[in-house]
A and B are shown apart, each in its own frame.
Chain A
């Protein structure tokens, strides 16, 4: 063999795989449409339909709903990775990836890193729509960026759970419907669209069990106080924990596939 190879380098392999997935999405801009349309649509519908009923006016409702829609968009964009991975696995390309002397986490991590572009786009779409509807956070722009990054990182951590789902599921269709159900239940059974104290006791109990509630609370706190709160720190710690648990599980499922 007269070709020099540097052997498997996890970072480099992951970067190449991320590049591959980015190319795929860039060649098919349709892949971005869902993450743009969904938050814009929900923001407009909920803001103008329920703003008056829930908060007495659209602009009064915006500080509540913007973080809610943002997290819903993260859930939805993050859950897309599962179906994408399942589709890829079924296409035969993964056979080749597996037969290459490269790190086994690279195809998964590459996919999820490339998918973080979807998270970024969904974040920008959510916050921009909110801004256009009159949302003016009382804190510096830096905090808005911080909130965006926290949301994106949370969405990315969640995408590892959906990746695992994609790896163990039978078909891309099954992953897609499971992802949609999870997204709907997690986003509506939380404080995303209404404040916790407005809920009946049993619903409050459910919403308090829902991790999404805590992320949204953390985001609202940051936007209200302009400071890094304990709640936000906890979200970060849990996110790291989720990745630490689900990334190895996903690689394990990938090896067994």
Chain B
């Protein structure tokens, strides 16, 4: 069976007054993958997500969820995904158990099934001990966990997470990542927005980089990093009079622009294999070097390069 794409986004556009906040964006999300929408603040990530989850009407273009148009078959489409919004979308005034019960009932579970599912989720997200306390006393991490638990009530195969770890401390963040990976292992498709590059790098199989409402780049984290250029090599030349010959040597062997800051030289290599000959040549020329750093390109580089100067 050729699997239907979990999501197809075609020429999606949204204008707020004169401003086009989402500009003709198209991409698709395959079943079972983690798809990341990455971009700086105000890039249009959340607006895109809100249109995908039927919360906002697009001015042009369409979104299909498992082949179902979100406008024409809104209710059916809505029954196929869970959504965890950017701001904890649970009720503050009532307890975790009550929240889960209410949302279970609203999702159409019978009273008995709702009770059972609530108990399961409380256990799964380690919320049993505070199940009956008012949410006002919850920590940010607990709130997010409850929020996620609520969106998993119907065990949706597609889950939208809008900035799932914004504002969480490193430990809770790692826990959230583990939870998301667990979901994927169980066969879910996850779409998340994030402004954290390491998060996208850690979790996403495919990424869409969005800036000023436009889709800037689409690909796997590895592909995106590849496009920016390969490994970065940098070192410091110990003796000042050797900087000139070292730079010359580097330019000829790496065949790309060398950056020189004082006695520090850096260059981008197409392949890691180019590293050994350079080091051998330096050795042969009796140039002593310190602080050797070989760095794989990070998504930070990608991000900075693609969104540079626009903000």
Please list the residues of chain A having a beta carbon within 8 angstroms of any beta carbon in chain B.
1-9, 12-13, 16-17, 19-20, 23-24, 27-28, 91-102, 106
**Distance of B70 from chain A, by nearest CB (Å):** 11
Q: In chain A, what residue has the closest Cβ to B134?
A: A27
B residues 79-123 near A (Cβ < 8 Å) are 79, 81, 83, 85-94, 98, 102-103, 105-110, 113, 117
The number of A-B residue pairs with CB atoms under 8 Å apart is 93
B189 in contact (CB, < 8 A): no
Does B54 sit within 8 A of A, measured CB to CB? yes
CB contacts (< 8 Å) of A92 on chain B: these are 85-89
Most chain B beta carbons < 10 A, residue from A13, A17, A102: A102
Interface centre among B78, B87, B102, B108 (most CB of A within 10 A): B108
Asked if A98 contacts B54 (CB within 8 A), the reply is: yes
User: In the complex, how many angstroms separate the beta carbon of A205 from the nearest chain B beta carbon?
Assistant: 43
Cβ-defined contact, B94 with A20, below 8 A: yes
A93 vs B55: C-alpha distance in the bound complex, in angstroms? 12
The 7 closest A-B pairs by CB, nearest first: A5-B108, A92-B87, A101-B79, A96-B89, A92-B89, A16-B105, A101-B78
Contacts A3-B113, A4-B113, A27-B93 given: A95-B108 contact, CB under 8 Å? no
Q: Which residues of chain B are within 8 angstroms of A20 by Cβ–Cβ distance?
A: 91, 94, 98, 102
Whether B62 is near chain A, meaning CB under 8 Å from some CB there, is no
Question: Can you pick out 7 interface pairs between chain A and chain B where the beta carbons lie within 8 Å of each other?
Answer: A3-B109, A5-B109, A8-B108, A20-B91, A24-B93, A27-B134, A93-B90
Q: Which of B108, B155, B157 contacts A101 (CB 8 A)?
A: B108
With a cutoff of 8 Å between Cβ atoms, the chain A residues found around residue B88 in the complex are 92
Q: Which residues on B are within 8 Å of A, measured CB to CB?
A: 53-55, 75-76, 78-79, 81, 83, 85-94, 98, 102-103, 105-110, 113, 117, 134, 150-151, 153-157
Please give, as numbers and ranges, the residues of chain A lying within 8 Å of B85 by CB-CB distance.
92, 95-96
Q: How far is the CB of B207 from chain A (nearest CB, A)?
A: 24
Q: Tell me the complex Cα distance, A102–B117, Å.
A: 19
Distance (whole angstroms) from the CB of A188 to the closest CB of chain B = 34
Q: Beyond A20-B102, A96-B150, A101-B79: 17 further Cβ-contacts under 8 Å? A: A3-B155, A5-B107, A5-B108, A6-B110, A16-B106, A20-B94, A23-B93, A24-B91, A24-B93, A27-B93, A27-B134, A91-B87, A92-B89, A96-B83, A101-B78, A101-B107, A102-B106
A99 to B75, CA, bound (A): 9
What's the minimum C-beta distance from A183 to chain B, rounded to whole angstroms? 25
CB contact between A28 and one of B93, B102, B107 (< 8 Å): that residue: B93
CA distance A6 to B157 in the complex (A): 18
Cβ–Cβ < 8 Å partners of B76 in chain A: 101
Q: A19 to B102, alpha carbons, bound, how many Å?
A: 8
CB distance from B57 to the nearest CB of A (A): 8
The smallest C-beta distance from B17 to any residue of chain A, in angstroms, reads 15
Hey, which chain A residues are within 8 Å of B87, CB to CB? 91-92
- Report the minimum CB–CB distance from A43 to chain B (whole Å): 30
Cα-based distance from A218 to B139 in the complex (angstroms): 54
Query: Could you tell me the distance in whole angstroms from the C-beta of A255 to the nearest C-beta in chain B?
Result: 9
Closest to A31 in B: B93
| Residues in A neighbouring B92, C-beta threshold 8 A | 91
Partner pick for A95 among B89, B134, B156, B157, CB 8 A cutoff: B89
Picked from B78, B83, B110, B155, the residue with its CB within 8 Å of the CB of A1 is B155
A95 with B154, Cβ < 8 A, contacts A5-B107, A24-B93 known: no
